[in-house]
Amino acid sequence: MDYSPALMTDMYEYTMLDATLRDGTTNRKCVFEVYTRHLPEGRRYGVTAGTGRILDALERFHLDDEDLRFLSDRKVVSPETIKWLENYRFSGSIKGYREGEMFFPNSPILQVEGTFGECTLLETLVLSILNYDSAVASAASRMVSAAKDRPCMDMGGRRTNEWAAVAAARAAVIGGFKGTANLLAAQMYGLKAIGTAAHCFTLVHDSERDAFASQIAALGKNTTLLVDTYNIEEAVKTAVEVAGPELGGIRIDSGDLASLAQRVRNQLDALGATNTKITVTNDLDEYALAALQTAPVDSYGVGTMLVTGSGAPTCAMVYKLTERENADGVMQPVAKKSKDKASIPGRKLAYRSYEYNLADCEHVISGSEDALAAYEPKDGWKDLLVDYVDHGQINPQYQGHDAIMAAHEYRARALAELPITAQSLMKGEPVIPTETTVL
């Protein structure tokens, strides 16, 4: 689908641009910040994901003649604003947490610096990507922890919007998953693609044996056969008869997965198929995966609960103005004082401190540009911010397949640096506190 990311906005972003062009404040320098006031109830940490997609969208964030005509015909903005938009390209700077990094309440996940006009247009796009992708990556990370060393695969494409499915596949890999059933995601991001056959494949054949023989003829003995269409015990017996003991794997998609996996493992071993792997699917979440830890399962396919954030489909991130140029040309910290929605003024630095090689606190330092430049963190603190965009120039290090795999590996290291209670599925407070210092 050919579309402009510059229209993936709420209308008020353009009406604000129009008004500030009229009153002369459009070009005031500003700093916007993305953060969340709280984690989903009971969660111990969040996982940052989606920044690479923001960079991809930013490359195409401009309006063509058709887009401008739409804004003009709908009278969203004035002719003067249409003229301003003709040459729009983001020329500001962006820094933030890298993909795969853990975040907590008030973590400055992303900071966008530029003029008010160019920064305000990015709000909806930035939030829609970060909120969803981080929710999926956070859920995926919890699932991977619950699965221990057994790989998890994304099978959620049929349980969400078609474009969300592609984003979810990418975010799931950042969160620790090993592959996806979604071919578009695999093509776009170079991800491992997985998949063999569904129940309809068995049903279209005259017998289960015919279906298995057909699949093996097409895909080889290393394929995975779905064995719960009729009777699992009979299906496993037939599968080994058709493929021999070299059968690659079987998949169970219904029933009491733990007890069925145990029976099937014993049956496979008795039939000589000792190396045949067992994959289970069927509405799994992190709690179901934890319950299967002692079962002889080799891998998992996860769908609905992955692409819906396992009950937390958004991270409640917000995009707030924290510093702006005043009428005298001086940068001035600003903040909301709304009840239960107050923000922390000023641009931010972010660090994580450690004791005995375990994270013990998230440190957010707020202040003027000069004050932050002079700030010296304590020895051993890790700087959590990276530069994504420098005066309009995107750092390609954070885009593409290699960036996704780097984030995949980084998440595992970052999680290992947190206290072990971070991996608990019991509800609790964030695993480390966030301390904010205003200089």
Q: Which amino acid is at 394?
A: I
What's the pLDDT at 341? 79
Helix ranges (H only) for 148-182 are: 162-174
Q: Which amino acid is at 162?
A: E
Please name which of 184, 159, 154 lies closest in space to residue 169, comparing C-alpha atoms. 154
Is it the case that residue 56 has pLDDT exceeding 80?
yes
pLDDT per residue as tens digits for the range 320-360: 999 999 999 999 999 888 887 778 889 999 999 999 999 99
pLDDT per residue as tens digits for the range 299-311: 999 999 999 999 9
Structure tokens at 245: 């003991």
**Alpha-carbon gap, residue 392 to 116, rounded angstroms:** 15
pLDDT per residue as tens digits for the range 206-244: 999 999 999 999 999 999 999 999 999 999 999 999 999
Domain with CATH 3.20.20.70 in the chain: 196-297
High-pLDDT (> 90) share of the chain, %: 95
What's the pLDDT at 124? 97
Dihedral over alpha carbons 22, 27, 28, 34 (to 10 degrees):
110
Domain with CATH 3.20.140.10 in the chain: 23-52+91-136+313-438
**Alpha-carbon gap, residue 130 to 110, rounded angstroms:** 9
Structure tokens at 403: 């960036």
**Alpha-carbon gap, residue 239 to 101, rounded angstroms:** 43
**Alpha-carbon gap, residue 93 to 58, rounded angstroms:** 12
- Kindly give the interhelix angle for 257-270 and 232-243, rounded to the nearest 10 degrees: 40
**Alpha-carbon gap, residue 12 to 163, rounded angstroms:** 24
What's the pLDDT at 157? 95
**Alpha-carbon gap, residue 77 to 131, rounded angstroms:** 28
Q: What is the mean pLDDT of residues 98-116?
A: 98
Biggest alpha carbon–alpha carbon distance for the chain: 83
What's the pLDDT at 1? 61
Q: What is the mean pLDDT of residues 193-212?
A: 97
Structure tokens at 330: 């001086």
**Alpha-carbon gap, residue 236 to 64, rounded angstroms:** 58
pLDDT band at 434 (very low <50, low <70, confident <90, very high): very high
SS3 assignment, position 401: helix
**Alpha-carbon gap, residue 265 to 426, rounded angstroms:** 30
Structure tokens at 112: 């966008």
The CA angle 220-198-184, to the nearest 5 degrees, is 85
Dihedral over alpha carbons 368, 373, 379, 385 (to 10 degrees):
80
Taking each continuous run of H as one helix and of E as one strand, the counts in the chain are: 16, 19
CATH superfamily, domain 196-297, is Aldolase class I (3.20.20.70)
pLDDT band at 4 (very low <50, low <70, confident <90, very high): confident
What's the chain's average pLDDT?
96
Structure tokens at 82: 């249409």
Structure tokens at 18: 């129009």
The mean-pLDDT minimum among 109-123, 130-144, 260-274, 340-354 falls in 340-354
**Alpha-carbon gap, residue 384 to 390, rounded angstroms:** 17
pLDDT per residue as tens digits for the range 118-135: 999 999 999 999 999 999
How many CA within 13 A on the CB side of residue 341?
7
**What's the pTM?**
0.96
Q: Which residues 6+ apart lie within 8 Å of 64 measured at CB?
A: 4
Element (H, E) at 31: strand 29-36
How many CA within 13 A on the CB side of residue 275?
9
- Options 3.20.140.10, 3.40.50.11720, 3.30.460.80, 3.40.50.2300; which CATH number does 23-52+91-136+313-438 get? 3.20.140.10
